Amino acid sequence: MAEAVEVRKVAQESGEFEPKIVAFLCKWCSSAGSDLAGVSRLQYPSNAVPITVPCSGSVSPIYILSAFNKGADGVLVSGCHPGDCHYLKGNFFARRRIYLVQKLLQFIGVEPNRFRMSWVSAAEGTKYAQVIADFVKDLKPLGPHGKLGAKR
Amino acid sequence: MVAIEDIRARARTLLESGEVRAVLGYQRGSAGTLAEPAFLTEPQQAASLVWDPTCIHNLALYLVNEKKRQRTQRSNDKRPLAVVAKGCDSRALVVLLQENHIDRSEVVILGVSCEGGGVIDPRKLTRALAGRAATTVAMDGADAIRVGTASGETTLPASELLADRCLECARAYPELYDTLYGDKAEGRSYSPRFAALNTVAEKPLDERRAYWNAHFERCIRCYACRAVCPMCYCDECVVDSTEFVVTPNTSADEKANRIRWIQRSPDASESAMYHLVRAMHLAGRCIDCAECERVCPVNIPVRLLNNVLEREALEAFEYVPGTDPGLPSLISSFRDGDPNDFVR
Amino acid sequence: MTRRTGVFVCHCGTNIAATVDVKKVAAELGQDEGVVFSNDYVYMCSDPGQQSVINAIKDHDLDSVVISCCSPTLHEKTFRDTSAAGGMNPFQCEIANIREQCAWVHKDKAKATPKAIKITRAAVKRVRRNESLTPIGVPVTRKVMVIGGGIAGIQSALDLANAGFEVVLVEKQATIGGHMIQLSETFPTLDCSQCILSPKMVEVSKNPRITLMTSSEVKSVSGFVGNFKVKVHSKAPFVDPEKCKLCDDCTPVCPVVVPNEYDLNLTGRRAIFIPYAQAIPASYTLDEEACLGLNPVVCGKCKEVCEAGAIDYDVKPKVTEYEIGAIVAATGFDLYDKGYLAEYGRGKYPDVLDGLQFERLCSASGPTGGQVLRPSDQKEPKNVVFIQCSGSRDPENHCAYCSKICCMYTAKHATLYQHKVHDGQAYVFYIDIRSGGKGYEEFVQRSMERDEVIYLRGRVSKVYPSKGKLKVMGVDTLSGKNVEIDADMVVLAQAMVPSKGTAEAAKTLKIGRDKDGFLAEAHPKLRPVESVTGGIFLAGAAQGPKDIPETVCQASAAVSKVIQLLSKPELEHSPTVAKVRDSHCTGCEMCVDACPFEAITLVNGKAHVNEVLCEGCGTCAGTCVRAAIDVKNVTQLQIHEMISACMGG
Ligand SMILES: Cc1cc2nc3c(=O)[nH]c(=O)nc-3n(C[C@H](O)[C@H](O)[C@H](O)COP(=O)(O)OP(=O)(O)OC[C@H]3O[C@@H](n4cnc5c(N)ncnc54)[C@H](O)[C@@H]3O)c2cc1C
Ligand code: SF4
Ligand code: SF4
Task: Please give the span between the terminal C-alpha atoms of chain A, in angstroms, as a whole number.
Answer: 7
Question: Looking at CA atoms only, how far is residue B281 from chain C in angstroms?
Answer: 6
Tell me what pLDDT residue B255 has. 66
Tell me what pLDDT residue C313 has. 95
Distance CA A97, CA C624 (A): 12
State in Å: Cα A66 to ligand 2 middle. Answer: 21
Give the domain-ending residue among B172, B191, B210.
Answer: B191
Checking if the pLDDT of B187 tops 50, the result is yes
State in Å: Cα C156 to ligand 1 middle. Answer: 14
- Domain boundaries, position B267: 194-335
Residues B186 and B232 in one domain: no
For B333, which of C584, C593, C625 is closest by C-beta distance? C593
Mean pLDDT on C162-183: 97
- Residue bearing the CA closest to ligand 3, atom 2: C617
Mean pLDDT on B17-39: 91
- Domain boundaries, position A22: 18-139
For A102, which of B206, B212, B342 is closest by C-beta distance? B342
Tell me what pLDDT residue B189 has. 63
Query: Does B343 reside within a domain?
Result: no
Chain C residue numbers with beta carbons less than 8 Å from the beta carbon of A34 are 100-101
Give the domain-ending residue among B133, B161, B191.
Answer: B191
State in Å: Cα C237 to ligand 2 middle. Answer: 47
Residues B153 and B17 in one domain: yes
Share of chain C above pLDDT 90, in %: 91
Q: What is the DSSP letter of C170?
A: E
Residues B170 and B281 in one domain: no
What sign does the CA torsion over C590, C592, C597, C599 have? positive
C432 with C396: CB under 8 angstroms? no
Query: Does A148 reside within a domain?
Result: no
C71 with C101: CB under 8 angstroms? yes
- Of the two residues B261 and C420, the one the predictor is more confident about is C420
Q: Which atom of ligand 2 is nearest to the CA of C588?
A: 4
Q: Which atom of ligand 2 is nearest to the CA of C589?
A: 5
> What is the C-alpha R_g of chain A?
16
Tell me what pLDDT residue A14 has. 52
Tell me what pLDDT residue A2 has. 43
Compute the mean pLDDT over every residue in chain B, rounded to the nearest whole number. 90
C511 with C532: CB under 8 angstroms? yes
Q: Which amino acid is at B85?
A: A
Query: Does A152 reside within a domain?
Result: no
A residues 29-68 closer than 8 Å to B (CB): 61-62, 65-66
Residues B238 and B327 in one domain: yes
pLDDT digits (tens, 9 = 90+) for C569-617: 888 889 999 999 988 899 999 999 999 999 999 999 999 999 988 999 9
Edge-to-edge, what's the strand order for the sheet holding C536-538? C210-213, C166-170, C143-147, C326-329, C536-538
State in Å: Cα C333 to ligand 1 middle. Answer: 6
Chain A residue numbers with beta carbons less than 8 Å from the beta carbon of C596 are 57, 85, 87-90
Confidence of residue B185 (pLDDT cuts 50, 70, 90): confident
Tell me what pLDDT residue C105 has. 96
E-state strands within chain A: 21-26, 48-53, 74-79, 115-119
Checking if the pLDDT of A4 tops 70, the result is no
CA dist C468 to A104, C152, C381, C485, C609, Å?
67, 42, 12, 13, 69
Tell me what pLDDT residue C333 has. 98
Distance CA B329, CA B100 (A): 12
Checking if the pLDDT of A30 tops 70, the result is yes
Query: Does A38 reside within a domain?
Result: yes
Assess whether the C-beta atom of C488 lies below 6 angstroms from ligand 1. Answer: no
Scanning every residue of chain B, which has its alpha carbon at the shortest distance from the alpha carbon of A66? B261
Phi, psi torsion values for B81, nearest 5 degrees? -105, 140
Yes or no, beta carbons of B217 and A149 under 8 Å apart? yes
Query: Does B203 reside within a domain?
Result: yes
H-state helical runs in C568-602? 590-594
Distance CA C468, CA C456 (A): 24
Yes or no, beta carbons of B281 and C625 under 8 Å apart? yes
Give the closest residue to B329 by CA, choosing from C478, C275, C313, C591: C591
C175 with C204: CB under 8 angstroms? no
Yes or no, beta carbons of B331 and C623 under 8 Å apart? yes
Query: Does B63 reside within a domain?
Result: yes
CA dist C208 to C167, C216, C328, C552, Å?
9, 19, 19, 22
Scanning every residue of chain A, which has its alpha carbon at the shortest distance from the alpha carbon of C116? A49
Give the domain-ending residue among B157, B191, B225.
Answer: B191
Residues B37 and B170 in one domain: yes
A2 touches chain B (CB under 8 A): no
What are chain C's domains?
5-135 (3.40.50), 143-233+323-332+499-566 (3.50.50.60), 236-316 (3.30.70.20), 336-495 (3.50.50.60), 577-631 (3.30.70.20)
Tell me what pLDDT residue C151 has. 98
For every residue of C237-260, DSSP letters joined together read --B-TTT------HHHH---EEE-
Q: Number of structural domains, chain A? A: 1
Tell me what pLDDT residue C462 has. 96
C641 with A65: CB under 8 angstroms? no
- Residue bearing the CA closest to ligand 1, atom 37: C331
State in Å: Cα C561 to ligand 1 middle. Answer: 22
Mutation site for B-interface testing, chosen from C588, C593, C634, C638 by largest number of B Cβ within 10 Å:
C588
Question: Looking at CA atoms only, how far is residue C379 from chain B in angstroms?
Answer: 51
pLDDT digits (tens, 9 = 90+) for C533-547: 889 999 999 999 999
Q: B35-44, B179-188, C211-220, C446-455 — which is least confidently predicted?
A: B179-188
- Residue bearing the CA closest to ligand 2, atom 3: C585
Scanning every residue of chain A, which has its alpha carbon at the shortest distance from the alpha carbon of B283? A100
Residues B55 and B111 in one domain: yes
Calculate ∠ Cα C5-C10-C14, nearest 5°.
165
State in Å: Cα B47 to ligand 2 middle. Answer: 42
Paired with A77 in beta bridges are A24, A117
E-state strands within B132-190: 134-140, 144-149, 152-157, 179-181
Cβ partners under 8 Å of residue C143, min gap 6: C165, C166, C167, C168, C322, C323, C324, C325
Query: Does B113 reside within a domain?
Result: yes
State in Å: Cα C268 to ligand 1 middle. Answer: 22
Q: What does the H/E/C string look like for C6-59?
A: EEEEECCCCCCCCCCCHHHHHHHHHCCCCEEEEEEECCCCCHHHHHHHHHHHHH
Q: What does the H/E/C string look like for A29-73?
A: CHHHHHHHHHHCCCCCCCCEEEEEECCHHHCCHHHHHHHHHCCCC
Query: Does A4 reside within a domain?
Result: no
C642 with A51: CB under 8 angstroms? yes
Tell me what pLDDT residue A3 has. 44
Q: What is the DSSP letter of C323?
A: E
Chain C residue numbers with beta carbons less than 8 Å from the beta carbon of A68 are none
HSE-up of residue B259 (Cα within 13 Å, Cβ side): 26
Q: Which atom of ligand 2 is nearest to the CA of C581?
A: 7
Yes or no, beta carbons of A88 and C512 under 8 Å apart? yes
Chain A residue numbers with beta carbons less than 8 Å from the beta carbon of B270 are 69
Checking if the pLDDT of A11 tops 50, the result is no
Neighbours of chain A (3+ CB pairs under 8 A): B, C
B240 touches chain C (CB under 8 A): no
C8 with C39: CB under 8 angstroms? yes
Tell me what pLDDT residue C81 has. 96
State in Å: Cα C410 to ligand 1 middle. Answer: 16
Question: Looking at CA atoms only, how far is residue A49 from chain C in angstroms?
Answer: 6
Give the closest residue to C143 by CA, choosing from C322, C331, C330, C329: C322
Yes or no, beta carbons of C588 and B101 under 8 Å apart? yes
Mean pLDDT on B301-320: 96
Checking if the pLDDT of A83 tops 90, the result is no
Distance CA B334, CA B319 (A): 10
Give the domain CATH number at A99.
3.40.50
Neighbours of chain C (3+ CB pairs under 8 A): A, B
Compute the mean pLDDT over every residue in chain C, rounded to the nearest whole number. 94
Share of chain C above pLDDT 70, in %: 100
Query: Helix A125-139 vs helix A30-39: angle between axes, to the nearest 10 degrees?
Result: 100
**Polymer length of chain A:** 152
Q: What share of chain B is helix, strand, coil (3-state, %, to 5)?
A: 40, 15, 50
pLDDT digits (tens, 9 = 90+) for B119-155: 999 999 989 988 788 888 988 887 889 999 888 889 9
Yes or no, beta carbons of B317 and A96 under 8 Å apart? yes
Residues B177 and B74 in one domain: yes
Yes or no, beta carbons of B342 and A89 under 8 Å apart? no
Distance CA B30, CA B48 (A): 12
Query: Does A1 reside within a domain?
Result: no
Chain B residue numbers with beta carbons less than 8 Å from the beta carbon of A108 are 208-209, 212, 272, 276, 305
Distance CA C488, CA C383 (A): 5
Query: Does B340 reside within a domain?
Result: no
C161 with C119: CB under 8 angstroms? no
Cα B281 from chain centre = 15
Yes or no, beta carbons of B253 and C1 under 8 Å apart? yes
Yes or no, beta carbons of A67 and C647 under 8 Å apart? yes
Tell me what pLDDT residue B242 has. 57
Mean pLDDT on C171-183: 96
Q: Which amino acid is at C368?
A: T
Tell me what pLDDT residue B248 has. 60
Q: What does the H/E/C string look like for C120-147?
A: HHHHHHHHCCCCCCCCEEEECCCEEEEE
Residues B69 and B153 in one domain: yes
**Polymer length of chain B:** 344
B residues 92-121 closer than 8 Å to C (CB): 99-101
Confidence of residue C111 (pLDDT cuts 50, 70, 90): very high
Q: How many CB atoms lie within 10 A of CB A106?
A: 17
State in Å: Cα C163 to ligand 1 middle. Answer: 24
Query: Does A26 reside within a domain?
Result: yes
Q: Which atom of ligand 3 is nearest to the CA of C600?
A: 5
pLDDT digits (tens, 9 = 90+) for B69-84: 888 888 788 899 999 9
CA dist B320 to A96, A113, A148, C616, Å?
15, 29, 29, 31
Q: How many CB atoms lie within 10 A of CB C132?
A: 13
Tell me what pLDDT residue B236 has. 83
Phi, psi torsion values for C423, nearest 5 degrees? -100, 15
Confidence of residue A5 (pLDDT cuts 50, 70, 90): very low
Query: Does A54 reside within a domain?
Result: yes
Mean pLDDT on C248-267: 94
Three-state secondary-structure class, residue B311: helix
Q: What is the DSSP letter of C533?
A: S
Chain A residue numbers with beta carbons less than 8 Å from the beta carbon of B333 are 96
Checking if the pLDDT of A148 tops 90, the result is no
Q: How many CB atoms lie within 10 A of CB B105?
A: 9
Phi, psi torsion values for C459, nearest 5 degrees? -95, 155
E-state strands within B86-143: 107-112, 134-140
Residues B11 and B149 in one domain: yes
Q: B196-200, B250-254, C382-386 — which is least confidently predicted?
A: B250-254
Assess whether the C-beta atom of C54 lies below 6 angstroms from ligand 3. Answer: no
Cβ partners under 8 Å of residue C504, min gap 6: none
> What is the C-alpha R_g of chain B?
21
Paired with B22 in beta bridges are B81
Scanning every residue of chain B, which has its alpha carbon at the shortest distance from the alpha carbon of A105? B276
Distance CA A6, CA A17 (A): 13
Question: Probe ligand 3: pick from C631, C632, C636, max atoms within 8 Å of CB?
Answer: C631
Residues B83 and B217 in one domain: no
Scanning every residue of chain C, which has its alpha carbon at the shortest distance from the alpha carbon of B242? C627
Yes or no, beta carbons of A103 and B336 under 8 Å apart? no
Query: Does A102 reside within a domain?
Result: yes
Yes or no, beta carbons of A111 and B205 under 8 Å apart? yes
Q: Number of structural domains, chain B? A: 2
